[in-house]
Structures are given as C-alpha cells and as structure tokens.
Structure 1
Amino acid sequence: MISRSSFTNAEDGKVLLNIQGNLEFRNVYFSYPSRPDIPILSGFFLEIPARKTVALVGRHGSGKSSIIPLIERFYDPTLGEVLLDGENIRNLRVEWLRNQIGLVSQEPALFAASIKENILYGRSASMDEVEEAAKIAHAHTFISSLSDAYETEIGGVIVELSEDQKLKIAIARAVLKNPCILLLDEVTGALDVDAERVVQEALDLLMLGRSTVVIARRLSVIRSADMIAVVEEGRLAEQGTHEDLLAANGLYTDLIRHEEAAKPPKRLLAKPYRELKVSQSLKEQPVAPIVESHATVARHEPQAIQLVKSPSLQRQHGAHAFLSFESNSVHESPSMRSPPAEQQLDVSKASDAKEKVAFSNKRQDSFEICLPALPKLDVHAMQQRLSSGHSDPESPVSPLLTSDPKNERSHSKTFSRVNIHYIDGGADAGKSELPKKDMNSPPSLLRLAKLSSPEWLYAILGSLGAALFGSFNPLLAFFLVQVVQNYYQMDSDKAHAKHEINRWCVFVVVMGVVTVLANFLQHFYFGIMGEKMTERVRRMMFSAILRNEVGWFDEEENSTDALNMRLANDATFVRAAFSNRLSILIQDLTAMIVAFVFGVILQWRVALVALASVPFLIISAVAQKLWLEGFAGDIHEVHKKSCSVLEDAVRNIYTVVAFSSERRIMEVYSRHLSRIVLHSFINGQARGFAFGVSQFLLFACNALLLWYAALVVRRSEAGLSTVLKQFLIFSFATFALVEPFGLAPYILKRRKSLVSVFGIINRKPKIDSDDSLGLRLPNVYGTIELRNVDFKYPSRPEQMVLNNFSLKVTGGQTVAIIGASGSGKSTVIALIERFYDPVAGQVFLDGKDIKTLNLRWLRNHMGLVQQEPVLFSTSIRENIIYARHNASEAEMKEAARIANAHHFISNLPHGYDTHVGMRGVELTLGQKQRIAIARVVLKNAPILLLDEASSAIESESSRVVQEALETLIMGNKTTILIAHRVAMMRHVDMIVVLNEGHIVEEGSHDALMAKNGLYARLMQPHFKPNLRQQRIS
C-alpha cells in the first residue's frame, strides 16, 4: 500500500494562468472500475459555458450522476476527454484543478473538529473571512447561538447538527474557497420546506458569476437554469431552456408529464399487485425559497436550530467542502425583501427558538416521511372473501396488505404466525441496575471459568502441559547442580563421575523432549479454549448491545466506532485474561510447589526463608500494577482520537480530495501521533522504572536466600552441595514467578478491557427487548394513543421535546404529522416504537400501556419505512426475509412485486441473490427503498409508520416508490406518516400540526388551509416563485 503510486499525481501537470470556466465533455465513455461491464456514459457530449448554470436531468440510471466525479477527476473516462477552457483536465495539476472547483452535496460530511476548522478546511483565512462566509451561507445566526459559537466541536454524538445546518456549513466552506466552478449534487433533496428555502437562497447567492453544474430533481431548481441537459442511457438526448424543451415535446416533456402524474389524484382504485409496473417517471415538488434580508434570515434559521431527534437515530454523514478565499467576498444583498407578514410564523415563538442550542440531528433512522395520502379502500368485502377461502386472483388487494383486527396478524394464512397468548407481568418486572461497583469491576476468575466450562477437557489437557512445563524449572536446576557436583568429584572416582554426569545429561535431554510435548499441550489446548471463549463472549457482548435501549446509544462512549472497537479488540483480551492467565498461573504455581518440596526435603530452614520472600515478590507486582495505572493516563483516548481522524478521512475521502485537503488531514493526524509518542515515552519510562523495582526485589530476595544459605553452611547445619541445590532451585522458580510481572502493562490493559466488555454484558437495559414478560394481545385493532406525554432525550435532559402532548389515532386510520424542524414530530414515532419511554404520561395500544406489553411482540406488530432505508451487507433475498425468516420463495417474491421491486431485481445479473454491499452501496436509493418496503410488506404488520420515504429520491424513482407505498397503505392498517409536502396531505384522514411539542392544529388539508394558520404558512412556500426566477426577471 505504501509503495503504490496513484494514477492521479497531485503534483504533476499544468496550471492555467487565466481560467474562464468553460467545461466540455467530448465523446466520453465511462464505466466504474468496480463494474467495468456496465457502461455509464457512451459517447457523451456536453458544453458548459463559463458563468452559466446547467442543470442535468434524466431517468434513474441515465448516467447524469457520473458527470460530477469526472469533472472533479475522482475518475478518468475510459475514452474521450473532459476539457477545461480547451485543455484536457488529465494534463492539469490535480490539486490546482480541484482548488478551482467547489462541491456541495446532499449529504455534507463534517469532520470531528470545531465549526471554524470545518469551514477552514482547504485554506487558511482570518476569523472575519470565516464569519463573512457563514453570513453568506445563512449559517452565522445559528452558529452564534451555540454555546461555543465557531469553536463548537461537532462530528460526535453529543453535539450533532441537523441536515440543513450541515449544508449551511458546507456552503460556507465553498464560499470561503471562492471557486470558479460550482458543482451542486441534489443539495436540498431531503430538506423540509422551511429549511430548504433558506438553504436554496444561500445556494443562489453562491451560484452567481460561476460556472455551475446542478443535478436536481425539483423543477423549481431546473426551470431557473440557463440551460437544461437531458441525459438518457449515457448520452446527451436534449438540451435547451425549460421553455424550448417543452416546445420540442420530447423526452424532457415526458419527464415533466411523469412528474405531474406523480402527484396523487383525489382518489385511486388500487391495482392488483400483478398489474403494478415499475414506472419510469420524474417527480418534482416545486419549492420556492423566500427572498429575505440578513435580518430575515435570523427569523427562519431558528426553526432548524432546535433540539430534535435522538442522536442514536442519526445518519452519520461526512462533509463535502474544503476552501479557498479571495478578497472579493460576496455580501448579502440588502435589496432582498422579506416575505409578507401574514406568511411569517409567530415572531415571539421564532425569537424564543433563537435562544435554543442547535444540536438537532438527522438520524440514521430518520423519522419523517413524505407519502402521498390515498383514500381508504373498503376491504371488508375482500376480507370476507379471503376468510371464506374464495380469494379472487384478480382482487385489487393482496392478502399481504390486509390486516384484520380480529386476527393477530392478518387474513393471510401463509403470512400468519403462531398464536401468542397472554403472559402476565409488566415489561419492567424484575429489572434492576447492577451496583456501579459491579459494573466497573472485572469479572472474577470463577465467572470466567464458568464461561469456559464447555471446554473443560481442553482445560485439563492444557493444565497438564502447564504443570509439566512449570515443574521443569526447579528440576533443571536440580539436574544442573548434580552435573556440577559430579564434575568436581571426578578426581576421586573419574569413571563413576563420568557415568553420573552422562546419566543426568540424559535426564536433561529427556526433559527437553518432554518440554516440547508439555508446551504443545499447554499452548494448543489453552489456545483453543481461549478462542472458543472469545467467540462466546463476543456473541454475548453483541447480544447485549442489541438488547440495549436506543437512548444508551446516544452516549458518546457508545457510538458506533467505539462499540466496534470494543467488540473487535476488547473481547480478544478475555482470552488473555483467563486462558493465558490460567496457563501462567498453573505453570508458576507448579514451579513454586516443586521447588518448596525439594527445599523441604533438602533443608527445611532454607526452604522457609525462601518461602518468606515470596510475599515481597507479590508486593512488587502489585506496586508495579498500581504504578502503571497512574502513568497510563489518557493514552487510550489519544489513540481513539487519532483513529477518529483516520476514519473521518477514509469515510469522507471524496471531500478530502475534492478540496485538496490531504496535507491538512496529514497535519492533524501527525499532531495526534506526536501526542501518542509523548504519552508512550512517559508510559515507557514508568514501565521501565516499575519493572526495575520488581527486578530489584527479585535479586534482593535471592541475596537474602544466599546470605542465609551461607550462614547455614558456616554453622554446619547443611553441606555446600545441598545448599547450592536449594539456592539454584529457588532461583529458577522465583525467576519463573517474576517473569509474568514484566507483562503487568498488558495485564492492566486486559483488566480495562474486561471491565469494558462485561460492563456491557452485565448491564440491565431500561427497555429490554429480550424480556419475555409482558402482555401479548390476542387481537390488534391498531388504536394508538399518546396521553399527556412529556419527553426529553436522555442525552439532552435540559431540552423538553414534547410537553403534555396528547394524540389518538383510531385503528385503520391514516394520520399525517407535520411541523417545523424541532417541533417534536419525529419523537412521536420513536415513542410509539418504544425506542424511548416518556418522562411523564403514557402511550397506549388498544387501551393497554405499551410498557405492560411484551416489547418484541409490540415491535413485531409495527412496520417502519424510513427515509434512508437500512440494508445489510448480504443478498437482496436475505434483506427482504429479514422481516420473517420462515417466508417461502413465493411469499418473498409477492412482497417484492407489491413493492414494485421484482422487476428491477429480476433484471440484475444474480437476481435475488445479488449482494447489496455495505449499507446497500451497490443499489440506488430508490431501489433500496423498494427493498425496504418489500420487507415491511412481508412483515404484514397492522401498524405502519412511514418516515419521509420518498423525499430524498429522484423524481422518477420517487414515483415508483410512492406507488409501492400507496399499495402498502391500502390495507386496513393504522398508518402514521410524517410529511411536509402538500401533495401528501390532501387525502389522509387527519393532519396534525406540531409546534414546540404541542398540537396547535388538526383537521383535513382543505380545512387547515382555509383556517390560514400555521399549517397554511408551512405549506405556503410550495406556491411561491423561485428566487433565481425573480432575479432573472
């Protein structure tokens, strides 16, 4: 790896003295190195004039997303050229080229550093320049409201930012860089309305006077571009302005028609799943950012600053930006006008929101959903046909979609589960936290021995080998003394002495052969026992991690990286703590016993003196351990920080190379390594001193023994040969005894690892998903009620998210929850799933407090579709049947058809056996979402929780996903969705509007719009003109 040279050398190549910003793709062919057999671009031509904005649109898989990586030279084309001002970018210096380009992506990566350092990535600048860039990016207000302002550390679990805040920092980073070329990759795709308008305005300021390439799916962004390029099957199909392309009535017009068709009709009859087709469509929701002055920005930003959502439910994104700044910095236009007063939220509430600390997070399991609401189908007649066994093959509703409240799961016999009966007892019964001293204490040898009890035979054989090897140290001393004694007796009887010497030498040789066998027994069998024990402890630890409540993962020490390290590294020390330790203990104990037996036989007085010196050796070992504990310091923390820098760099490698920040990353990493060297030096000195003390005590004890042996010889109480035998026997034994003291630093490390591992294993979760107690209702009707609920996240106890909140959703009803960022809507689903328990109040399912229900049973009756679907690194088949492992092939494929996934899966080379890669990296977001929907279909839960399922997906995929979701909610299920788009609101049974943890409005879409309250103001941006359109006009 060290000797490997990159094909893109950052130091080689030309530098253009005067850059205009003209980009050109000339007959470009391209395939990703990991998929060389799949062409992405095939003969692609495109010219991007200087200082113009070009929007790229196309169906999913058309190749438009590969344009930005080729401009940045993350990849080189297979054939053809990419030109900048007429020069092939392969001839340009890579570092210089990337310094001319600014990249802002949908998922901006922020590094584990302060906000100031994140903005400064790529170039050094003064604090005034940093603040000016933040103002242009509309980030200064929320940054200033933080307790440490620009010095606030981000990237960890405790202080996280919402997605729009991350985007503003990334935009500030790009502003500071002041590039000639700007690349925008689906920047506002996943933001809610209120956050989007502020971010879009900042982007519009950034785009002025720069060559800009925009990949977007929203028509509000596409329409305002100077030119639109339509990409189809890796080629440029059409290009022109919005009006010209509509007049041409070609592919672009078809995409627009698909986008219009993606809006939900007033009422649709469900199609049979057999007739569902994977539509090729493009759907955009026009979002109009409101033009506002610098003062106005302060009014809108706080809505994205509030504390919301659990850190453990966050997506961990990286950062896309590294910077360079010039003196001609852009200022916020004083001519920007504020929105009319009637369209602004309550000023007092907005001013209060400014005071709140901005730790809002975008979770890995985001709890917001954008789903078109469809009318309910009356499925009772269908259910009667199904239950009577007369299922119509052309029935518009699959058995997988219906949920009968009189049955535990559904009508479908193939999808029904074993009947579950009541089990008395509360879910929290019998739970108690272990005393803290037990949590921070390493496990006893007895407990470790019990864990290894299945390997008792290996332990016996290993102990036999350890005992044999331990006994050889004093025996070797005895044999050597015998050889020496006979050697000095050769003058009296040479033949006899020679015979005795040969005899004792044969014993030594035999002992050497036996030592080989003893070492094999000791290390082989203790090694097997240790590995099996490590495997067992890892499984116990992983099971304990999965069992913990979600709030436990909010703590910084329980972050994903920390748990991975503890599971991978700390668990291995269990073997060292027991099997290796037991091996050495038996070996040394045997050596001391054999030495003492020999000593008592030869001269008991000397043996007692030798035995009296052993406590001093033990004291030296204990002192050494305590000494090293004091000097160990925070070297482990320093190692963790250096690993964090390395992990950040690898995870966000696109950001690092896009902003030519390799040197800066290396400087940060080198600083951490320097601290490790310093700590290691101090720690090494402490180890050396402690080891020296133990060796001093060893030789002091030997000196005492030698002095007393000489005294015994002088008193004629024993002969010289006898005393010499005793001295050498005890010397060899004590050397064997003290040898493990040199391993004290590692033993100390093992102790800390044991505390870490068994701290997790011993912990009793506050919400235990493995608890077998709790009620299991025979019938689930799906009525959900939150009654007088108060809630705040454990990691942010000072921030009340819900305050005296009450909501009731009747069984079979579809309810949409809407609200500004931080209003508490995401928390509602988290409480229903019982990821957390409320601080006060209760959550009910069919009149039963969910705390009294069996937790695993409860979650088995809920289906969750998230904004960013979670797929495991395995095949598509295994990802779908995760919901129900005993599902048949036919059931799995039926679920995929209902989710509009069967068509694209069948077209893959390996079909359902296709490996999706880490986090589904081999699939598009739309494909991942459909697989996640298929999983929920297969689960067939009576309660459906939808989480912004199509908000971050391009329009064509969004339409297919929405069609699958529409099919999914047709059954008689209780559905709760979180949404912010007006198209999703029109046909739900009820809309609930939240603000600062309270329900402020509820009703239908038309009734709430007529009321002209908060809901109308939140929906108003959908109907406003675009900022750049206003400027152009």
Structure 2
Amino acid sequence: MSSAVASRLSWGLILSTLDFLACLLFAFLHDGTFSVNNFTSQFTNFSFFTCTIDLFLLQFIRSALWFVPAIIHIINKPDTLSSWKEPIFCASLLICAASPTKLLLLTERLKPDEFLTFGDTAFLIWNFLAAIILDSSWNRYFSRTPSSYIILDEDNEDLEHRPKETFELIFRLLQYCKREWLWHISGFSWLFIYSVTRIFVPYYTGQVIATVVATKSYPALSNAVYIMTFISLVSAVAAGFRGGSFEYAYARIQRSIRYDLFSGLVRQDVAFYDAHKTGEITSRLAADCQTMSDTVALNVNVFLRNCVMLLGSMIFMMKLSWRLSLVTFILVPIIFVASKIFGTYYDLLSERTQDAVAESNDVAEEVLSTMRTVRSFACEKVEADRFYDKLTVTLNVTRTKAIAYVGFLWVSELFQSFIIVAVLWYGGHLVLTGKMKADLLVSFLLYQMQLGDNLRQMGEVWTGLMQSVGASRKVFEYIDREPQIQHHGEYQPENVVGKIEFRNVHFSYPTRSDQPILRDLSFTVEPGETVALVGPSGSGKSSCIALLENFYLPNAGQVLVDGVPLEEYEHHYIHKKIALVGQEPVLFARSVMENVRYGVDVQDTEVIKSCEMANAHGFIMQTTLKYETNVGEKGTQMSGGQKQRIAIARALVREPAILLLDEATSALDTESEHVVQEAIYKNLGGKSVILIAHRLSTVEKADKIVVISKGKVEQIGSHEQLLADKEGTYAKLVQRQMMGEQKPKKNNGANSKRPANSINVGGTSQGNAMSLLSTSFSQSASSVTSH
C-alpha cells in the first residue's frame, strides 16, 4: 500500500469515526438523558416530526465521501481528485440545509412553551458543522495531488495551487478597491444609509396595507405614509451620493489597473514581444482592463448594498417569524449550488471570450498599421473576411455564454418562485394554527420578495466577478511576469572608453531556441575603432547588435564593454553611452524636436547641431513648423531617407561612446549618404562604431572588417588586408560583386535586364559597387562554406 493511499485511509477513518461517535452520542441523548433506548426506539417508532435518526443516516454519506480519495488512489487516478471538489461542495450545502429543515419538523408539534432537548439541538448543530468539515477537509487536504504524482518542472510546479486561483484573483481585484479607500468610504457610508432605509420599506408597506384593511383609519394611514415618504427621500438622496462616489472610484480604479499593466509591459524584455502579438497586448490593455475596473467596482457596490439589505431583511424576518424564515434559508443553499456550478463554467467561458477578443483586436491592429501594404496588394476584402472570422469565433463563445446564462436564470427563477410558494403555504399554515399574526404575513412576504431580489443580485455579482476573473487572469499574468533580463546592474563609471568584446558567445532567440544563431563567436572592437560586420542574411550580424543593446542574454559566453560584462552596468547609464540607429528606424508621432531629444535632456541648440551632423537640418527647416513638425505615426509623414537621418541625429545628440549602425544609411541616396557618412566620421571624436552594411563604399572605410557566416567569425582585417588574401571569402565576394555590377554595361538599352545578384544604385562606378555580400553572399553560401 502506497503512502498516499495509507494517508487518505487514515484521515478518512479518523474523520468518519469522529463523526460516527458524535452522531451516536447525540442520538443517545435524544430525550435529554443518556440512554441506548433513545437510539433504538427511534427505529421502531420513527417519525419525521419527533425522531433525529435520519440525521444519523446522513453520517454514512459523509463517511463514504471521506473514503473516496483513498478509493481513487487505489484505482490509480489521483489526477481526478480536483474534479470532485464541486460535487463535494454541493453535497455539503445540501447536508447543511438538512439542519434547518429538521428544526422546522421537530418544532412543528411542540407547544409554544416547549423547547428542543439538548441532544436534538446538539445533533442539529453537529450536522451543520460536519458538512462544513467535509467541504473544508476536501479543499485543504483530499483534493490536493500528492507530491509523488506531480511532475516537478516549471510548468507544473504550482499545479496544486491552481484550485485557489479564482479566489486569489478575486481577492487581488478587491485590493484595487482598497487603494481608493477615501472614495469608497464615502460610497459605503451613503450605501449603508440607503440600504438601511430600504430595509424599513417592506415593514411600513405592510403596515399601510394592514391599517387600511384592519382599522380603516385615516390618521393611522397618514402616519404610515408620512414615515414612508421620509424614508423614500432619505433613500433617494443617499442613492445619488452613493452613485457619484462609486462612479469616481471606478475611474480611479481603471487608471490604477491600466497603469500597473502598462508599467509591467514596458519593463518586459524584447523576447516577450517576439512571442506576443502587439494587438493581443493592446486588447489586454484596453478591453480587459475596462472589464476588470467596471465589473469589480460595480459588483463591490452591488454586493455590499445587498449584504446590508440581506442582513437587515433576515433580522426583520426572524423577528416576524423565525419558523417562516427557516423555509427561505433551507432553499438558499440550493441556489448557491446552482450559482457555484454556473460561476465556474462562466469563468472558463469569460476567459475564452477575452482570448477571442484579443485575437480579433490583433488582426485589426496588424491590418490598420500596415494599410499601405494591404492597399498595394488589393487585400481589403481578404483582411475584412479574416477579421469577420475572428469575430465569429467570439460570437460563438458568447452564444455559449448566453445559453449557460439562460440555464442559470431558469434554475434561479424556478427556485425563487418555489420559495415564494413554500412561504405562502407555510405562512398560511402558521396563521391558521395561531403561531403567527395575520397582519405580519404581508410584511413577511414583502421581505421575502426583497430577500429574493437581494439573493438574485448577489448571484449576478458572482457571475460578474467570474467575468472579471476571466479578464484579469492574463492581465495579472503580464503584471507579475518577471522579465528574463533583470536590470540590477549598478556600475556607472565616470567615463566609457568604448572597448567592446564578444567572448565565446553562443546565442539563439528564445522563440527559436532550437536554432542556434551565434556559435562561439569572438571579436574585439578597440576604443575609437570602426568595425564593419558583413555576412549573409541570418548569419548573426543583427544579433550581435541586439546582444550589445542588452535586448537578449547570450546562452553562453559574455559581451563586455571596457572589460565589464554588459549586465553589470546600470540600465539607464549604459543606454546613454550606447546609441543605436536601426535598419528600419521607428519615430514616434511627435515633433522632430521631441524625437531627436527622446530619452535625454538637452538644449535645442544641441538638437539642431546633431541634425546638422546627420544632414537633417536642411529638410527640417523647409517644413512649415520646422522642428515642431509632427512626423506622423511611426514617421509616416517623412520619407525613408528623412526618417533615417532623424534617427541618426537622435543617436548623435546623446554623444555616445559606442555607436551602432545597423544599415543606418541604407535608405539614403548616394549624395546624402556621402554627406551623412562624412558628418558621422568627422564628429565621432574617437568613439567606437559597429556598423552593418551591404554597401562596399560603407564597408571599405571601416578600420576593421569582421566576416561572419553561420554564426562564426571567418575573417577579420581591414579592407586591404582581406582583399590581399585572394583565396579568402571576402576577396571572392568582392570580386563576384564587381563582376555582377559590370555586366549591365554590355547592354545599351535603358530597360535592359540586370543580373539578379546586383543592385544598381546609380552614380560613379565606385558608388555602383555597393551591394556587397547581400544577395551574392546568400546565393553563394555553398561556395563560402567550402572554403
């Protein structure tokens, strides 16, 4: 027998034995004295109105449920334990309802001055407590999978805690209400006044009806109406202030949730955005946060209001007739059973809905942000149909939610009606037997309807909270996610010299961990040196830039700046010392001045100076608003060359120690490229530069050229040194490129076809031989590796 089975059997035996002994004891004390005859006589003279032996039989049901975990382990299906939680919860509620039901039966034939015996009272209380112990023991112990059955990996290490996730999320959602305590105190105060005044409405309504029917007195009627009018006015004023306080609190909660999510998103590493689509993340930030803030705050308001009214109604009902009140309380657990089952299913459907909405938003964001491409390929109808398909998926999930909600309302309304019928019948029975005054029955029925409405709204609160839980699961996942790259470095030297070293670096992108990009790559950039990285597409050039920007961590090896590992530098400090101009620079929808000054606090004169260095000042001054000109979303109001020159100015204004140029001049015409390159080289002041280029005119000016192929360094040297090695990869590629550029000269036609491996950029022959190592390198990969 395994330890898990033995443990379950032991606990089941202990709990069932304790339950059996307690029930046996209280059965022996049936008439108030301890006697075996009290137990046996209940079998021979059984009556629902006098015996408690039926409560004793419920003990066997509880014992059977306590032995279920051991049986499940014996048949070797421990993973099904968690699925038993809902049935156990429902069974516990029904067993709880047996106590007030039995109480009504036992007191039905008692005289007004008679009371239940100690044994029967203790039996009723124990039955109620035993049901609670049954559910608690399953939640805390039986439903958990033993550690021997849990696979210890990062995906399943928290498996045993998942059943509590829903309640943990609800509690965390409520913490946002705690933050806005001032406005919630105001709202709760007015809510309390409103709820208390509404509690008295059924009572005085009943008094008005009773006065008209019984006394037919105008003074008595007027007095009751005056009181009702005053209560209604106070209730209306309190309702207004309550609504205003909570409405403002909702807005503040929404701000807090969105800020927390956005703060969590912007600190994530770049690998996170490689794996998650922008549209999906935007949907979480917009739709999910809206759902969370609206439903949580609203449902807290509704829940607290109904709690106060429910408590007040119960007090009045118990005062009017405790027997009649128990009829309601017997059927309430059944409604909670339905709410629990529906709420769990609704939680799952809400999460599916939010995922479907996120997918449709992702399609919309992708299409709208690439509208030029969509229009150029005439794919408007195609994208509209794709978006419609995503909306259809959302509609299908929502339809399932609607069907489930219909079922819940059927059950809820059915039991509500059944409660009213039961109260009417039993209330009439109490009036006819003289156990209740007739004029109080009307007030009780009004309280009963109010109680039913309170319970219905509280059931909807649970549904709303489940909807919030479904929306919040991903939101909190993003807020809590710890980025793989933690910016805990604190090293801030007075000066960065600019020595860069890649030392035995191995790297693969997190989304493609099985495809190595860099393999034992090593090279050094001395201070003030300009190094060009050349190689075919996918060889790892841009990956070197990404590692140096600390976008990713290498799988092995180190990237060092001035002999210090990059991750040891303070995050903000090192990114002021390293400036990047990407192949496709992205500008923000702000003015030119704000784009160039992005991330640094410099004077306008320094911004203008950096623009002059990048050959951007001229075209900026030709615009209407000059440096206040808005560049448009992602710089769409600027040409490709203008965007790139603004990006270069944005890098130069920081006066970096290290400048990274990833095809930084690829979008410029020959003249602008020459001017920008000259400005960059003249004003670097000994700064270290790593550039990636496919143009020979850019590469040949570098102090050192690093040839990378398949993630490894094949050659290192200056342009002249590498050309001197006739058998080297660099020399062969330059020769092949030059030959490719010369072929078009044999054709005189203006529309003559050019070789597929050449790019004619115009200008002199030196300017024409610029498409180095791009298409030629990729087409001749086999010849490269053979050498």
TM-score (norm 1): 0.54
Q: CA deviation at 1:738?
A: 1.0
- Of residues 452, 457, 463 in structure 1, which corresponds to 2:182? 457
1:795 alignment partner, SS class: helix
Contact 1:442–1:755 (CA<8 Å) still a contact in 2? no
Q: 1:756 to 1:912 in 2, by over 3 A?
A: same
State the Cα distance separating 1:735 from its structure 2 match: 0.8
Q: 1:928 aligns with which of 643, 646, 649?
A: 643
**1:856 is aligned to 2:581:** no
Question: Residue 235 of structure 2 aligns to a residue in which SS?
Answer: helix
Match of 1:477 in 2: 202
Partner of 2:515: 799
Q: In the alignment, what sits opposite 2:544?
A: 828
Q: What is the match of residue 776 of structure 1?
A: 492
Partner residue, 2:100: none
Greater mean deviation of Cα atoms: 546-555 or 620-629: 620-629
Q: 1:565 to 1:963 in 2, by over 3 A?
A: farther
Structure 1 segments unaligned to the other structure (5+ residues): 1-432
TM-aligned CA deviation for residue 566 of structure 1: 1.0
Matched, 1:990 2:715: no
The structural deviation recorded for 1:993 is: 0.5
Give the corresponding residue for 1:683. 401
Once residues 369 and 535 of structure 2 are traced to their aligned partners in structure 1, the CA distance between those partners, rounded to angstroms, is 33
- 1:782 Cα deviation from its structure 2 partner: 1.6
- Does structure 2 conserve the Cα–Cα contact (< 8 Å) formed by 1:434 and 1:762? no
Aligned to 2:669: 954
Structure 1 counterpart of 2:630, one-letter code: H
Q: Structure 1 residues 762 and 821, CA, compared in 2 at 3 Å: closer, same or farther? A: same
CA displacement, residues 112-133 of structure 1 (integer Å, 9 cap, x when unaligned): xxxxxxxxxxxxxxxxxxxxxx
The whole-number CA distance in structure 2 between the counterparts of 1:921 and 1:488 is 80
What does 1:992-1007 correspond to in 2, within 5 Å?
992-1007=706-721
Q: What letter is aligned with 2:306?
A: D
- The CA deviation at 1:1026 is 6.7
Contact preservation (8 Å) 1:475, 1:729:
no
Q: Counterparts of 2:597 and 2:157 in 1: how far apart (Å)?
A: 37
Match of 1:816 among 532, 535, 538: 532
**Structure 1 Cα separation of the partners of residues 382 and 170 of structure 2:** 48
Answer 1 or 2: which has greater helix percent: 2
Identity rate of aligned residues, in percent? 28
Q: C-alpha distance in 2, partners of 1:544/1:996?
A: 36
1:606 Cα deviation from its structure 2 partner: 3.1
Aligned residue in 2 for 1:897: 612
Kept in 2, the 8 Å contact 1:440–1:759? The answer is no
Distance change >3 Å, CA 443–CA 937, structure 1 → 2: farther
When residues 513 and 666 of structure 1 are mapped into structure 2, their CA distance, relative to the original with a 3 A threshold, is same
The CA deviation at 1:791 is 0.9
Aligned AA (1:900):
N
8 Å CA contact 1:443–1:755 kept in 2: the answer is no
Give the direction of change, closer, same or farther, for the CA distance of 1:820–1:486 in structure 2 (3 Å limit).
same
Q: Distance in 1 between matches of 2:380 and 2:575?
A: 45
- Is residue 981 of structure 1 aligned with residue 706 of structure 2? no
Change in CA separation of 1:813 and 1:929 when aligned onto 2, cut-off 3 Å: same
Aligned-pair distance for 1:513?
A: 2.8
For residue 569 of structure 1, give the secondary structure of its aligned residue in structure 2: helix
In the alignment, is the contact (CA less than 8 A) between 2:644 and 2:667 conserved in 1? no
Q: Return the offset for 1:945.
A: 0.9
Say yes or no: does 1:573 pair with 2:287: no
For 1:761, give the aligned amino acid: I
State the alpha-carbon separation in 1 of the partners of residues 587 and 252 from structure 2: 30
**1:594 matches 2:312:** yes
Distance 1:964 1:616, change over 3 A: farther
Q: Deviations over 1:940-963 (max 9, x none)?
A: 121111111111233444344334
Counterpart in 1 of 2:555? 839
- Structure 1 residue 729: deviation in Å? 0.8
Match of 1:759 in 2: 477
Q: Which whole-Å CA distance do the structure 1 matches of 2:157 and 2:575 have between them?
A: 27
Amino acid at match of 1:937: L
In the superposition, relative to structure 1, how do residues 934 and 675 fare at CA in structure 2: closer, same or farther (>3 Å)? closer
Going from structure 1 to structure 2, the CA distance change for 1:669 and 1:575 (only over 3 Å counts) comes to: closer
By relative contact order (CA 8 Å, sep 6+), the higher-ranking structure is 1
- Name the Cα RMSD after superposition: 2.9
Any residues of structure 2 matched to 1:98-497 within 5 Å, and which? 447-448=172-173, 450-453=175-178, 455-489=180-214, 493-494=215-216, 496=217
Q: Distance in 1 between matches of 2:167 and 2:643?
A: 43
Distance in 2, Cα, partners of 1:752 & 1:954: 53
User: What letter matches 1:458 in structure 2?
Assistant: W
- The aligned amino acid for 2:235 is T
- Report the Cα offset of residue 576 of structure 1: 2.5
1:216 is aligned to none
> What are the Cα deviations for residues 737-787 of structure 1, in whole angstroms up to 9, with x where unaligned?
212434665433311222222211112211134x4x533234322212121
- For 2:355 and 2:266, the matched residues in 1 are separated by 25
**Structure 1 residues 301-321: Cα deviation after superposition (integer angstroms, max 9, x where no partner):** xxxxxxxxxxxxxxxxxxxxx
Which deviations, in whole Å up to 9, do the C-alpha atoms of 1:845-888 show, x marking residues without a partner? 22222233323322222111112222111111211221312x22
Looking at structure 2, the residues matched to 931 and 764 of structure 1 have their Cα atoms a distance apart, in angstroms, of 34
Q: Contact 1:876–1:915 at 8 Å: present in 2 too?
A: yes
Larger-gyration structure (1/2): 2
SS state at 2:597 partner: helix
Which one of 297, 303, 322 corresponds to residue 585 of structure 1? 303
Give distance in 1, aligned partners of 2:560 and 2:342: 58
Instruction: Give CA-to-partner distance per residue, 1:691-721, whole Å, 9 cap, x none.
Output: 2222223333444444443343343222122
User: In 1, are the aligned partners of 2:354 and 2:471 still within 8 Å (CA)?
Assistant: no
Instruction: State the alpha-carbon separation in 2 of the partners of residues 606 and 578 from structure 1.
Output: 35
**SS of corresponding position for 1:939:** coil
Are the equivalent residues in 1 in contact too, given 2:302–2:457 (CA < 8 A)?
Answer: no
SS at match of 2:497: coil
Secondary structure of the corresponding residue to residue 548 of structure 1: coil
Q: Secondary structure at the match of 1:971?
A: coil
Q: How far does residue 731 in structure 1 lie from its aligned partner after superposition?
A: 2.2
Give the secondary-structure state (helix, strand or coil) at the position aligned to 2:653.
Answer: helix
Distance 1:666-1:986 versus aligned 2 partners, 3 A rule: closer
Greater mean deviation of Cα atoms: 702-711 or 795-804: 702-711
- Measured in 2, the distance between the counterparts of 1:955 and 1:499 equals 102
Alpha-carbon contact 1:782-1:811 (below 8 Å) kept: yes
Inter-CA distance 716–698: structure 2 relative to 1 (3 Å threshold):
same
Aligned residue for 1:1024, secondary structure, equals: helix
For 2:47, the equivalent position in structure 1 comes to none
1:747 matched residue in structure 2: 465
Q: For 1:538, which of 252, 255, 258 is the aligned residue?
A: 258
Q: Among residues 900, 919, 934, which one is paired with 2:634 in the alignment?
A: 919
Partners in 1 of 2:183 and 2:350 — Cα distance? 35
Equivalent residue, structure 1, for 2:5: none
Specify whether residues 1001 and 916 from structure 1 end up closer, same or farther in structure 2 by C-alpha distance, changes over 3 A only. Answer: same
Distance 1:649 1:811, change over 3 A: closer
Letter in 2 for 1:808: T
Alignment match, 2:237: 517
Residues 984/957 of structure 1: CA separation in 2 closer, same or farther (3 Å cut): closer
- 8 Å CA contact 1:624–1:691 kept in 2: the answer is no
Q: Structure 2: state its 5+ residue gaps.
A: 1-155, 753-787
Contact 1:802 1:998 in 2 (8 A): yes
Report the Cα offset of residue 590 of structure 1: 0.6
1:499 pairs with 219, 235, 240, which one? 219
- CA 805–965 in structure 1, closer or farther in 2 if over 3 Å, else same: same
Query: After the TM superposition, which of the residue ranges 669-678 and 940-949 deviates more from structure 2?
Result: 669-678
Q: Mark the CA change 1:864 to 1:669 in structure 2 (over 3 Å): closer, same or farther.
A: closer
CA distance in 1, matches of 2:743, 2:391: 48
Cα drift, residue 598 of structure 1: 1.3
Which amino acid in the other structure matches residue 300 of structure 2? Answer: L
CA apart distance, 1:889? 2.5
Amino acid at match of 1:892: V
Over 3 Å counting, the alpha-carbon distance change for 1:569 and 1:967 in structure 2 is farther
Q: Number of residue pairs matched?
A: 591
